[in-house]
Structure formats: C-alpha cells, structure tokens
Structure 1
Amino acid sequence: MKVILSGGGTGGHIYPALTIADQIKKLRPEAEISFVGTKQGLEKDIIPRYGYPLKFIEVAGFKRSLSLDTLRSVGKLFEGLYDAWQIIKRERPNLVIGTGGYVCGPIVFMAALHGIPCCIQEQNAMPGVTNKILSRYVRKVFLGYKEAGKYFPGKAELVYTGNPIRTEILEHERLAALKELGLDPEKKTVLVSGGSRGARSINTAMLEAELALSDRQEVQVLHATGDVNYEKYMAEITKRGGVGKNIIIKPYLHNMPVALAAADLAVFRAGAIGLAELMAKGVPSVLIPYPYATANHQEFNARAVEAKGAARVILDKELNGERILEAIEHLLLHAKELEKMQAAAKSLGKPQAAETIAKEALALIKD
C-alpha cells in the first residue's frame, strides 16, 4: 500500500502531515509513505529528519494582485501539474492526503483526476485558497474547526476531527513538568510565546507586564522571546531595573510539551496547531492573532476559541503592556473564571485527531 502526503511552505502545514503519517504507519505498518514538496519550502529540511522520502515538484504561490510574478506562478503551476502527473504515474499511490499550502494542489488534483482516493485536512477556521479549490475534487475534508465547514460547499464528506498534534504533548504531567523546569508548584504559571521566532509586539507588551509582575508571590512567568529578540529584550529589561526570580526569560523553549504541561495560562499567537496543543492540555489563553496571516485566519481561529469560553482575544493593534497585564491579573484573581476557561479548553481538545484522520483516510482504500 502506498500513501502520498503533501503540505508545505510552513510548519503549520508540514507537522500535521507528519503526525498523520506516523499514525498511518502505526495502523498499517506495511504502508509505504512518501511526501511531495518543493525545494523552496521548509519541508525540504523537516521531512527527511523524520525518515520519510520526499519528492519535489515545481510550483509557486500566487500573489493576490496581477503582476509579472502572477504570470510566472501560472507557468510554475503547469510545471507542477506535469511533475505531479509523473509522480502519480510512477508511484501509483492508493491514497493521497493534502494538508494545505499551494504545494499540495498539483499532487492532490492529479491524483483525484486519476480516480485515486484523496482527502485534505484544513487546520484553520478560515480555510486557505488551495484547500477550498481541492475540496471539490476530494472524497473527505477533515476540519480542525467546525466553523470552517461552511466554506466547503462541494460534495466531499466533511469530518470534524480537530487538528492533529504530536503525541509527546500528552506525555507530561503538571508536577513533573514544573520540577523539570525548576518552577514553583504553589504559583500560577503563565507561559508566553509568540511562536518559534517570537513576536515583537507580544514582547514589547510583556516587558511592561513582567516589570509589574516581578517578585509577586502568586505568579511566575515563563517567556520565550525568540532567538532574534532575546538580547535586545534582556538589555531593555536590565536597563529598566531587571525582574525577580519569578520571571524566567528564555530565547527559545526546546521542550514545549513540558512547558505546556506546566502552564496554567498561556499568552500566544493563534496558529491552528499551537491552539490545538493548548486545547488538548486544557490550557486557557490570552490570544493575540498575528495580524498579517493570510486571509486573517488567525483571528478567525482565536474568535472561535473565544466564543467557546476558552480564551480572551486582544488584537495586535490594541496590544500594550496595560492591556496584557489587565488580562493576566484578572484571570489570576478570579480563580473560578480561570477554572471555567480550563474546562472549556479541555472540552475543545481533540487529542486523538491524528488517529481519527488516519482511520477515516485509510477507510477510503478498497483492499
């Protein structure tokens, strides 16, 4: 049995595909799994580290305005379709799964034209353009958010699964995580991260908040600034008099599953997979959606979680030290409200999403 997965450009498309692939391998150890991507996307570095073969096609994303680059992208699209056709003809897969990003367009489309069972996984509450188009040709669409369903009016079966997350997210308990991180189990832990590269606006606001929370007995903050922001952040906070031992500032958190297990409250962007991990652990959050995300999909994600009572949303343009401090202090002072948010987050969690997707996708194959 041969399975091809494709999703590229960013980690938000690649890691869900890898998580699904791992689950397929658990369910069907004999499956030959390979990936399709481009030499320009992050997949060229990430996929081989996980031991899966990666085949390349030529394709480029479309700009949202008509230009010479748009014409070049059209040319690349036809090249990508030809490359995809060659891969399908050579590999003859039994199943093709796309997880978003323009790279999965040609391979899923060509597979569908050849009558091969295909499905896609959409991580966000506001779907990407590629998945909207592909939904008309695939058998199943796996939804990370129920709210995305209305954007897929085709004949494909819509299956609300939640977003696939790494299995190690669920492996750590709170007390053991706090001990590993050297944190005080008697204090509420606020986890702050703007993503792997950090977020300047969150860092700027948190600097003011951390100065105010310094040496407070009831709270501790674990803040990842991002490598590129760390030295400047530390220089500024030192210039302002520094902070107490309850404020831990790191350039990067190399073991995010442990940090999530220790967290009572998170200050995060609203990327789909990061939110799925928060929900799986039942961590309530203050969300600051990235304002330049395609089609503003991070705000749609954040609002969907907020509507269920698991988060508070502050728009990036409204973010400052006073707003973030007020949000954190309010939740720390109102224990029952925080507990309700934790319960709401936990109810939204779909820790078995990858297994569900793998089973539903494999069911399309006629043995």
Structure 2
Amino acid sequence: MNDSVRQPAGGLGTTSRGFSLSVVLAGGGTAGHVEPAMAVADALTRLDPQIRITALGTSRGLETKLVPERGYRLELITPVPLPRKPTGDLARLPPRVWRAVREARAVLDGVDADVVIGFGGYVALPAYLAARGIPGFRRRIPVVIHEANARAGLANRVGVRTAARVLSAVPDSGLRHAEVVGVPVRAAITALDRAALRAQARAHFGFTDDARVLLVFGGSQGAVSLNRAVAGAAAALAGAGISVLHAHGPKNVLDLPGADHQGTQDPPYVAVPYLDRMDLAYAAADMVICRSGAMTVAEVSAVGLPAIYVPLPIGNGEQRLNALPVVNAGGGIVVDDGALSPDLVGQEVVALLTDAARLAAMTAAAARVGHRDAARQVAQAAVAVARQARPAVGGRSGGGGP
C-alpha cells in the first residue's frame, strides 16, 4: 500500500481536507476473525485505493501469515486471553489488558486512525478500549463492529456499548441495534459463477461434466467424524453414481478399501488433504457436507450450494445457530455430529442427491439466503462513520505510512 499518495479533496476515502482515510482492522486470532477482516480490507481498497489499511494482531494468531500474504500492514500487540463471561477483573483492566490497550492506542495514533473496524476476539477488545481514549491519548476514534457468529463473543459485547455502527451476520446475535449484512467473504467466492466454471472445475478434479458431485470438507484440519461417515458410505455413494471430492485434512488419512484416492475409479472418489482452489471445488459440487462455522456457512450459501451442516459438538451451540437461517430458508439440513453415520450418508444423502427436483429447490433457497455484498456494506459503513467523525476544519497529521 502506498501511504504517501493523497487523493483530491472530497473523494470517497478522503476527509473534507483531502487526506486519505486511515482504517484499522482488529480481527486477529482465528481464520473466522482474520478472513472477514481481509475481505473488508479488499472491499475498502476497491472503494478507494488510497484508503490506508492497518491490521491489528498478535504474534499467536493466523494474521501473522494471512495479513502479509494479502499485502496489508500488520501491527502486533500483546495477546489478552478473554474469559467467556464479563468479570470484575475485566472491568478493572488488569496490567496485561492495560498493556495491550496502550499498545493498541499507540498503533491507532501512529497511523492516525479515522475508524476501527472490529471483528471480535482477543485483538478487538484492546482496540475497542483504546479507541475510547485513555490518559495521554485523548482523541476518541469511532468504532464499527461486525459480529460473524450467531452468539456474540465477549469482546463485541463490550465494544457495542460505545460503537458508532454495529453489523452482524444473522439476526438476534445479542448485540443491540445490529444491522444484518451477512459475513464478509472474499471476492473470489462472492463473484463466483458456478455454472460458468462448472466444466473447467469438474475437469480439474477428474469428474465428468454430467457427474453428480458431493463435496466434503471439515475445515483446515479436517473433521474425523465427517471423514469416517462419508468414507464409510463410499460403496453406497458409488452404487448411486455419485462422485465425491473429499478434503480430509492434512493430518488425517481416509480408510477407503479398494479405492486409490486419486479418482481413477468410476465414479471417482477424489480424496485430498486440503483444497487450495475452493472456487473450483464449489463450482464442481452439487451439494456439500461440512461444519457450520460462520465463515463456512457464509461461503457455502454465498455460492448457492445446498449443504448438510454438521455443527462442531463443542462450545455454546453457536455453530448450529449459524446454520439455522439457511436451514430455515430451505437451503440446508442440520445433522448432529453424533448422528452422522455411513448409513445416514448412504441413505439420506444419496436420496437427496438423486432427487433432482428437491436438490434444485435447495440450491435456489441457498442462493436466496446467501449474502454476497457483506464486505462492501461493512466497508461503506466504516467510510461513512470515519467521514462523519473527522472535523470539517482544523488540522490533522496525515501520517501513518509504513
């Protein structure tokens, strides 16, 4: 990013005095926080290439890899483990939190931040508190919050009290006055034309153009229960003429008796450790079996794929809630982790994939409920808040270049 360039006054990403806006993204830790932040960063850049973007993170999170790969500036602060519920210690700001807040505030002032966009997690909380203004750093910086999960985490529940705008993936996330926009998803997915890419995608994985394809994935590390159930139904799937594209995770191995894992059997069962071309995987598929993390549900519904969602059986049930809007619209089915079995896949999944009318109805429903423009909406909200907060007259430093 070239922070030395200044856009003429009055442009989308400028203040009334002509300085380019400076946006800080606070969404480190897991991919569920980092990926939406990067999707919004890309959307901001598309709105105005002169907007200056800084990502806030810690040395422990995936942001140390994902942010530099996307070409954005990354500043690190002290990680602050968050309790699952508000406590007196949080309100009293113990030394570790104070340190992270002061480090975050130094970053905000160093880049002359106009707005903070927070996505929850242990990076967002210090950013929210720093943006309020602390002794020695008096200027308050407006905050825009995005909540990806169906149940808001602690950081966003604290940050919402002083946020200028609040956006969420689904209704009833627990954040007051939240505007439902969906989950920000990268443009490579939201712009995907599955029909136009289908022939290329199927050829890429070794499927025939008229194949019925089941896509299976369980996140970056795979999911043993999904692997066991689908691999155990391999014979039933093959008997029904269903091809399978199965990302089982780099640390897992599928038990597929009689299969070569390379898709040379007919119909092909293509088993791979991971998928580095999810766009092609989505384009090749007719249906998905997957977990229901917020990002997974967002991507699968954004491309209009019907899905069997298998919520991770831990936490407070948020994965089930993430999937419910799609399920209630008719674009998916929820199956409990413990109920997913080779028999269920061999019977119910096969029945669905071989029922053209039902599959078409689910496909249409998934496409209707998916959000393709969430990243743009979050970016536009942040720009509007930043422009409103900046005074029309008076000086500012335009600094913050790397």
Could you state the TM-score of these two structures normalised by the residue count of structure 1?
A: 0.90
Task: Using the TM superposition, give the Cα deviation of residue 245 of structure 1 relative to its aligned residue in structure 2, in angstroms.
Answer: 4.1
Task: Using the TM superposition, give the Cα deviation of residue 21 of structure 1 relative to its aligned residue in structure 2, in angstroms.
Answer: 0.7
Is 1:286–1:327's contact at 8 Å kept on the other side of the alignment? Answer: no
1:318 to 339, 346, 350: 339
Task: Using the TM superposition, give the Cα deviation of residue 215 of structure 1 relative to its aligned residue in structure 2, in angstroms.
Answer: 4.9
More helix by share: 1
In the alignment, the residues of structure 2 paired with residue 179 and residue 334 of structure 1 have an alpha-carbon distance, to the nearest angstrom, of 24
Q: Does 1:43 align with 2:63?
A: yes
| CA deviations over 1:171-228 (Å, ceiling 9, x no partner) | 35222322222211212111000111100011111111113222543x2111111110
Q: Does 1:228 align with 2:251?
A: yes
Which residue matches 1:291?
A: 313
Unaligned runs of 5+ in 2: 1-20, 134-138, 391-402
Identity %: 32
Task: Using the TM superposition, give the Cα deviation of residue 277 of structure 1 relative to its aligned residue in structure 2, in angstroms.
Answer: 1.2
Which amino acid is the alignment partner of residue 256 of structure 2? I
Which residue matches 2:293?
A: 271
In the alignment, the residues of structure 1 paired with residue 83 and residue 51 of structure 2 have an alpha-carbon distance, to the nearest angstrom, of 37
Q: Does 1:365 align with 2:389?
A: no
Which residue matches 2:14?
A: none
Task: Using the TM superposition, give the Cα deviation of residue 239 of structure 1 relative to its aligned residue in structure 2, in angstroms.
Answer: 6.9
Which residue matches 2:257?
A: 238
Is 2:240–2:350's contact at 8 Å kept on the other side of the alignment? Answer: no
Q: Give secondary structure in 1 for the equivalent of 2:358.
A: helix
1:127 to 145, 152, 163: 152
Which amino acid is the alignment partner of residue 353 of structure 1? A
Q: 1:305 to 1:29 in 2, by over 3 A?
A: same
- Superposed, 1:80-91 pairs within 5 Å as 80-91=100-111
Q: Give secondary structure in 1 for the equivalent of 2:25.
A: strand
Which amino acid is the alignment partner of residue 41 of structure 2? A
Is 1:189–1:220's contact at 8 Å kept on the other side of the alignment? Answer: yes
Which residue matches 1:250?
A: 272
Q: Does 1:61 align with 2:86?
A: no
Q: Give secondary structure in 2 for the equivalent of 1:238.
A: coil
Aligned length: 354
| CA deviations over 1:270-291 (Å, ceiling 9, x no partner) | 0111111111111000010111
In the alignment, the residues of structure 1 paired with residue 108 and residue 180 of structure 2 have an alpha-carbon distance, to the nearest angstrom, of 28
Is 2:26–2:123's contact at 8 Å kept on the other side of the alignment? Answer: yes
Could you state the TM-score of these two structures normalised by the residue count of structure 2?
A: 0.82
Is 1:290–1:316's contact at 8 Å kept on the other side of the alignment? Answer: yes
Which residue matches 1:108?
A: 128
In the alignment, the residues of structure 2 paired with residue 45 and residue 241 of structure 1 have an alpha-carbon distance, to the nearest angstrom, of 34
Kindly report the root-mean-square deviation, in angstroms, between the aligned alpha carbons of the 2 structures. Answer: 2.4
Task: Using the TM superposition, give the Cα deviation of residue 321 of structure 1 relative to its aligned residue in structure 2, in angstroms.
Answer: 1.2
Q: Give secondary structure in 2 for the equivalent of 1:249.
A: strand
Is 2:205–2:270's contact at 8 Å kept on the other side of the alignment? Answer: no
Unaligned runs of 5+ in 1: none
| CA deviations over 1:139-189 (Å, ceiling 9, x no partner) | 1111111232xx113xxx522111111111233522232222221121211
Is 1:215–1:246's contact at 8 Å kept on the other side of the alignment? Answer: no
In the alignment, the residues of structure 2 paired with residue 187 and residue 123 of structure 1 have an alpha-carbon distance, to the nearest angstrom, of 34
Is 1:215–1:244's contact at 8 Å kept on the other side of the alignment? Answer: no
2:180 to 143, 152, 160: 160
Is 1:59–1:80's contact at 8 Å kept on the other side of the alignment? Answer: yes
Q: Give secondary structure in 2 for the equivalent of 1:195.
A: coil
